[in-house]
Structure 1
Amino acid sequence: MPRRIILHAGFHKTGTSSIQATLRENRVALKKQIALRLRWHLKDIVVAARGYSTDRDPLTLIKVQSRFGEMVNAIPGMPRRTLVISAEELSGHLPGRGPLADYSAAPVLLYAYWEILRSAYPEAEILIYLSTRAPEAWLASAYWEHVKSSGMTMNFDVFEHTYGEAANLDAMVAEIASRVPAVVEARRLEDCADLPLGPVDPLLDLCDIPLSLRPSLVAVPAANRRPRQDVLDALLEANRTHSDAAARNAAKKSILSAAGLSA
C-alpha cells in the first residue's frame, strides 16, 4: 500500500505538460520513492472526465468512477512509496469549449477520485495538488490553446468576456478544498520560474524526495509552449478561412510545420 497518494488534477495551461514530462524523464531515478500514473496511463479515464465536464450526465460520472476504480485496482503493491496520479484532464475539459465556461465539474470529479482512493487505501494519506497561474496569463494561454487545437474564430476580447471567470483558479482551489475531504495544496506557475526543475519541484516536495537525490534529477525543456505570435495569428486566420475541418487542419499543420513545430 502506498504511504501517500498525490492526485495532481490540473489545471490546464499551468505547466502540467512540463511536470509530466519531467516525471517521466526521471522515472528510473525516482522509482524507489514514487509510482507514477500519468496522462498516457489514464486515457480512458480522462475521456470520461472530459465528457462529464460537458454533459454533467450522472451516467457519465459513473463511467468515470468505474474506469478510475479499475485503474486503481490494477496498481500493484508499492509499500512505502508515494503514488502520483497526474493529468490535467482529470478535472475535465479546458474551459472555453462552447458552453463549458469554468471548472465547476472539478470538485465533483475530485471527490469521486478521492472516494475511490480512500476505499482502496484507507491508511494512506491522500493529497490533492493543483498547479495554478495568474488569471491574465492563464486566460491568454487558454485562448491560444483553443485557437491552436480547435476551430475557434472569436477575438481574444470576446473570449475574455465570455470565459473570464474560469481564470480565477484560486477560487476554484478554495472550492475544491471546501468540498473534498483531503489536504489540498496549490502553487502558481509564476512562482516556479527560478526552481531547479521548474513546476515539478513543489510536487516533488510533497513526495519527500531525499535531498541527496534531487541534484541528480534531470530538468527537461518546457513542454507545450505557446508558439510565436505570428504563428498564432496565422492559425487564427486559418480557422476563419477554412470551414471544412480537414482543410483547416491541413492548413494549420502546414503553418506549424513551417515554424518547426508539431501539430
Structure 2
Amino acid sequence: MPRRIILHAGFHKTGTSTIQSVLRENRVALKKHVALRLRWHMKDLVAATRGYSTWRDPLTLIKVQDRFTRLMDDLPGMPRRTLVISAEELSGHLPGRGELADYSAAPILLYAFWEIARARYPEAEILIYLSTRAPGPWLESAWAEHVKASNMTLPFEDFAARYHGAANLDAMVAEIASRVPVPVHHRALESCLDLPLGPADPLLDLCDLPAALRAGLVPVAPANTRLKPEILQAMLEANRTQDTAEARNAAKAQLLKDAR
C-alpha cells in the first residue's frame, strides 16, 4: 500500500498543467518513490466531478464516489511509495460557466475522496495539496480560458464582476481545511516563479524524495499559458458572431493556427 496519498485538486489556472507536465516528464525518475495518477488517467472521474459541481445532485455524487473507488481498486501495489492524484477537475468545473459561480463543490468532493481513500488504505497518510493564485490574475486567466475553450461572450469586466467571489482561493482553502479532516497544504503560483521546477516544487516537497533524485529532476516550459490579447479578442468575437459550436471551434482553431 502507499505510505502517503496526496490529493492535488487544483485549482484551475494556478499552474496545474505545468505541475502535471513536470510529473509526467520525470515519471521514470520518480517511479521508485512516487506513483502517479494524472488527469488523463481518470477521464471518467473528472467528467463526473465536473457534472457534480454543475448539478449538485445525489446521483452524480454517487457516480463520483463509484469512479474514485474504481480508481483506488485498480491501483497496482505501491509498497511504501507516495501516491499523487493530480487533476484540477477534482474540485469540479472551472467557475464561470453559467450559474457555476465558485468552488463550493470542492469540500464535498474532497471529503468523498478522503473517505474512500481512508477505507481502502487505512494506514496511509492522506494529504490535500491546493495550488492558488492572486484574485486579479486568476480572474484574467479564468476568463481567457473560457473565451478559448467555451462559448464565453462576456467582456472581462463583466466576467470579473459576476464571478469575483470564485477568485478568493485562500478562503476556499480555509473552507476545505475546515471540512476535510486531513492536512491541507497550499502555495500561491506567484511564489513559485523562481523555483527550479516552478509550481511543481511545493508538491514534490511533500513526497520526501532523496536529495540526489530531487536535484536531477528536469523542468518543463510553462504549460497552457494565456494567449495574446488580440487573439483572445478575436476569439471573443467569434463566440459572439458564430451561430454553431462547429463554426466557433473552426474559427478559433484557425486563429490558433495563424498565431503559430
TM-score by length of 1: 0.98
User: 1:36 and 1:22 mapped to 2: Cα distance?
Assistant: 12
Q: Which residue of 2 aligns with 1:30?
A: 30
State the identity %: 72
Q: Which residue of 2 aligns with 1:240?
A: 240
Corresponding position: 1:8 with 2:8: yes
TM-score by length of 2: 0.99
Deviation, structure 1 residue 134? 0.4
Deviation, structure 1 residue 54? 0.4
Q: Which residue of 1 aligns with 2:59?
A: 59
Q: Which residue of 1 aligns with 2:214?
A: 214
User: 1:247 and 1:52 mapped to 2: Cα distance?
Assistant: 29
Q: Which residue of 2 aligns with 1:109?
A: 109
**Any residues of structure 2 matched to 1:33-182 within 5 Å, and which?**
33-182=33-182
Deviation, structure 1 residue 147? 0.4
Deviation, structure 1 residue 192? 0.3
User: 1:81 and 1:95 mapped to 2: Cα distance?
Assistant: 34
Q: Which amino acid aligns with 1:254?
A: Q
User: 2:10 and 2:123 mapped to 1: Cα distance?
Assistant: 25
**Any residues of structure 2 matched to 1:194-233 within 5 Å, and which?**
194-233=194-233
User: 2:258 and 2:22 mapped to 1: Cα distance?
Assistant: 27
Deviation, structure 1 residue 215? 2.1
Q: Which amino acid aligns with 1:24?
A: R
User: 1:87 and 1:142 mapped to 2: Cα distance?
Assistant: 16
User: 1:84 and 1:189 mapped to 2: Cα distance?
Assistant: 19
**Aligned-partner SS, 1:212:** helix
User: 1:223 and 1:143 mapped to 2: Cα distance?
Assistant: 17
**Aligned-partner SS, 2:211:** coil
User: 1:51 and 1:233 mapped to 2: Cα distance?
Assistant: 29
Q: Which residue of 2 aligns with 1:254?
A: 254
CA distances 1:77-123 after superposition (whole Å, capped 9, x unpaired): 11110000000001100000000000000000000000000000111
User: 1:28 and 1:143 mapped to 2: Cα distance?
Assistant: 35
User: 1:248 and 1:118 mapped to 2: Cα distance?
Assistant: 44
User: 1:74 and 1:190 mapped to 2: Cα distance?
Assistant: 36
Deviation, structure 1 residue 246? 1.1
**Aligned-partner SS, 2:212:** coil
Q: Which runs of 5+ in 2 are unaligned?
A: none
User: 1:243 and 1:184 mapped to 2: Cα distance?
Assistant: 44
Q: Which runs of 5+ in 1 are unaligned?
A: none
Q: Which amino acid aligns with 1:59?
A: L
**Aligned-partner SS, 2:199:** helix
User: 1:60 and 1:151 mapped to 2: Cα distance?
Assistant: 24
Q: Which amino acid aligns with 1:65?
A: Q
Q: Which residue of 1 aligns with 2:186?
A: 186
User: 1:7 and 1:246 mapped to 2: Cα distance?
Assistant: 36
CA RMSD of aligned residues (A): 0.6
User: 2:35 and 2:161 mapped to 1: Cα distance?
Assistant: 41
User: 1:176 and 1:241 mapped to 2: Cα distance?
Assistant: 40
